[in-house]
């Protein structure tokens, strides 16, 4: 959907992969590696085969200033040269584990994706029968983000699993408290005022977003009201005053433009800092701010739903399950706003994404869709009239299981509502 920002010479993905392979082989002479361009990954030919996807590494490399690229390649090679580090309980928790703990904020969709990850995508040559995806505990932050804990080691950040908590004899909340204290001990306020009246976090240490868990760092901003924040990608944290709609609008537009520079997207919703130090969803009163937030959310959810659909389609195909996973379709208007739609088709059992509007497609005797559609209405109206046909499924991003198409009085009410909408 987007290009991205880069500094200096722009190497191709193949050129970046070649440089990376050379560095890995310098660390591990004789190791066999090949680049698979069609999937943008490295295959490390050992037992088991390891597959390392390079899209994020490539963009990190391009985004780095020219004088830092050598160090970036070295760090990437160190990660590729060894299996992912899973620290074990060696020595005491207090002395060996606790100092490495740091909190991280991730999109809720990313966390859900990790819990349903297919291990065979990343490894070959081992029996996957008994391979279990680790449970990664977390805490909600607003509507579409979660807080987790990682072990920050020399070459990698490894997310703490439920199994590790049991090994350490600690609860998630206990470990999170230790991680937050580590971050607090290493933090002094660093903010940059931005054109438009909002502020940008300026730590630039991969934990800017984690400072959402340190409410005291927002005090020096001297806002007249509560802090309103957006975290559209992991590297970006922006804050505006709840009483300054113009700053909120500038912040959202800037965050959207920054998506072209970032490859680790988060979530597009606004959150507000409460007096007790917690963040809750923010309901903007200014229509332009609400639309800008909707634009950002639709851009990010377009990708999140696409990733979810890809994984679910793969699982359904493997299980021989005939269940259609409907697409989250995002469109730009002439005013450059972004809105989303999905289709509810007659005769198709499906999982619908939650979108701005729903298109109800009736079919003729030949099984083909009848045009124009029976009705096109906002999601809220579709749910109010035909909500009994939309069964929520326990997943994120949210989906709704549909088996039966609206008929009779329900269909007439949808047609009337569509006509009222114009």
Residue 61 shares a structural domain with residue 128: no
Residue 262 shares a structural domain with residue 331: no
Quickly tell me which residue has 């989906």 as its tokens. 399
Pick the more confident residue, 64 or 240. Answer: 240
Q: Which of 285, 315, 340 is the last residue in one of the domains?
A: 285
Whether 141 has a pLDDT exceeding 60, the answer reads yes
Gap between the Cα atoms of 251 and 323, Å rounded: 40
Apex 44 CA angle, 40 and 49, nearest 5 = 105
Residue 250 shares a structural domain with residue 314: no
Average pLDDT of the segment spanning 24-43? 89
Pick the more confident residue, 413 or 129. Answer: 413
Residue 311 shares a structural domain with residue 397: yes
Gap between the Cα atoms of 41 and 52, Å rounded: 5
Report the percent of the chain where pLDDT is more than 90.
Answer: 63
The pLDDT assigned to 79 comes to: 83
The pLDDT assigned to 115 comes to: 61
Q: Which of 37, 53, 81 is the last residue in one of the domains?
A: 81
The separation between CA 50 and the C-alpha centre of its own chain, rounded to angstroms, equals 24
Residue 219 domain flag: yes
Residue 307 shares a structural domain with residue 417: yes
Residue 292 domain flag: no
Residue 150 shares a structural domain with residue 75: no
Residue 291 domain flag: no
The separation between CA 366 and the C-alpha centre of its own chain, rounded to angstroms, equals 41
Residue 296 domain flag: no
List all residues 6 or more positions away from 376 whose beta carbon is below 8 Å from its beta carbon.
341, 357, 358, 359, 360, 418, 421
Residue 326 shares a structural domain with residue 401: yes
Other Cβ atoms closer than 10 A to 321: 10
Residue 403 shares a structural domain with residue 354: yes
Report yes or no: 42 and 20 within 8 Å, Cβ to Cβ.
yes
Residue 49 domain flag: yes
Residue 298 domain flag: no
147-188 confidence digits (pLDDT tens): 999 999 876 788 899 999 999 999 999 999 999 999 999 999
Residue 65, strand partner residues: none
Mean pLDDT of all residues in the chain?
89
Number of domains in the chain: 4
Q: Which of 170, 185, 200 is the last residue in one of the domains?
A: 185
Residue 394 shares a structural domain with residue 351: yes
Report yes or no: 417 and 375 within 8 Å, Cβ to Cβ.
yes
Residue 122 shares a structural domain with residue 199: no
Residue 72 domain flag: yes
Report yes or no: 200 and 251 within 8 Å, Cβ to Cβ.
no
pLDDT band at 1 (very low <50, low <70, confident <90, very high): very low
The pLDDT assigned to 51 comes to: 85
Residue-number span of the structural domain to which 410 is assigned: 303-421
Q: Which of 72, 88, 92 is nearest to 80 (CA)?
A: 72
CA distances from residue 92 to 158, 160, 176, 178, 338 in whole angstroms, order as listed:
19, 16, 17, 14, 52
Whether 83 has a pLDDT exceeding 60, the answer reads no
Q: Look up residue 265 and give its two tokens.
A: 């997207």
Residue 178 shares a structural domain with residue 99: yes
Report yes or no: 37 and 14 within 8 Å, Cβ to Cβ.
yes
pLDDT band at 92 (very low <50, low <70, confident <90, very high): confident
Residue 223 domain flag: yes
Residue 109 shares a structural domain with residue 218: no
Measured torsion, CA atoms of residues 45, 49, 51, 57, in degrees rounded to the nearest 10 = -50
Q: Look up residue 137 and give its two tokens.
A: 């505990």
Gap between the Cα atoms of 345 and 221, Å rounded: 51
Report yes or no: 158 and 214 within 8 Å, Cβ to Cβ.
no
pLDDT band at 5 (very low <50, low <70, confident <90, very high): very low
Among the listed ranges 5-9, 101-105, 287-291, 292-296, which one has the minimum average pLDDT value? 5-9
């Amino acid at each position: 959907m987007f290009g991205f920002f880069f500094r200096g010479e722009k190497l191709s993905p193949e050129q970046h992969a070649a440089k990376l392979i050379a560095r890995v082989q310098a660390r591990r002479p004789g190791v066999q590696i090949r680049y698979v361009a069609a999937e943008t990954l490295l295959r490390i030919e050992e037992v088991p085969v390891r597959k390392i996807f390079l899209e994020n590494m490539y963009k990190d490399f391009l985004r780095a200033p020219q004088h830092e690229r050598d160090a970036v390649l070295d760090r990437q090679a160190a990660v590729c040269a060894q299996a992912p580090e899973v620290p074990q309980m060696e020595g005491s928790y207090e002395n060996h584990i606790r100092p490495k703990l740091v909190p991280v904020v991730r999109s809720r969709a990313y966390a859900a994706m990790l819990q349903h990850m297919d291990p065979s995508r990343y490894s070959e040559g081992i029996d996957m029968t008994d391979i279990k995806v680790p449970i990664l505990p977390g805490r909600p932050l607003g509507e579409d983000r979660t807080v987790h804990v990682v072990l920050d080691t020399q070459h990698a950040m490894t997310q703490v699993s439920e199994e590790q908590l049991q090994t350490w004899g600690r609860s998630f909340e206990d470990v999170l408290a230790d991680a937050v204290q580590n971050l607090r001990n290493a933090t002094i306020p660093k903010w940059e005022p931005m054109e438009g009246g909002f502020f940008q976090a300026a730590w630039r240490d991969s934990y800017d977003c984690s400072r959402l868990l340190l409410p005291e760092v927002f005090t020096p901003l001297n806002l007249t009201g509560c802090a309103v924040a957006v975290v559209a990608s992991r590297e970006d944290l922006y804050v505006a005053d709840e009483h300054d709609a113009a700053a909120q609008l500038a912040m959202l537009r800037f965050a959207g433009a920054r998506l072209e520079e970032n490859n680790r997207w988060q979530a597009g919703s606004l959150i507000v800092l409460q007096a007790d130090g917690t963040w809750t969803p923010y309901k903007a009163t200014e229509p332009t701010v609400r639309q800008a937030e909707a634009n950002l959310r639709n851009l990010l959810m377009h990708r999140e739903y696409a990733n979810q659909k890809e994984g679910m389609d793969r699982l359904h195909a493997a299980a021989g399950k005939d269940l259609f996973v409907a697409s989250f379709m995002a469109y730009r208007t002439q005013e450059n706003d972004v809105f989303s739609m999905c289709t509810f088709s007659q005769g198709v059992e499906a999982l619908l994404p939650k979108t701005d509007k729903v298109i109800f497609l009736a079919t003729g005797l030949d099984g083909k869709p009848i045009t124009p559609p029976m009705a096109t209405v906002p999601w809220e109206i579709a749910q109010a009239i035909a909500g009994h046909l939309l069964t929520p499924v326990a997943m994120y991003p949210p989906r709704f299981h549909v088996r039966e198409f609206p008929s009779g009085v329900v269909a007439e009410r949808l047609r009337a509502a569509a006509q009222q909408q114009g």
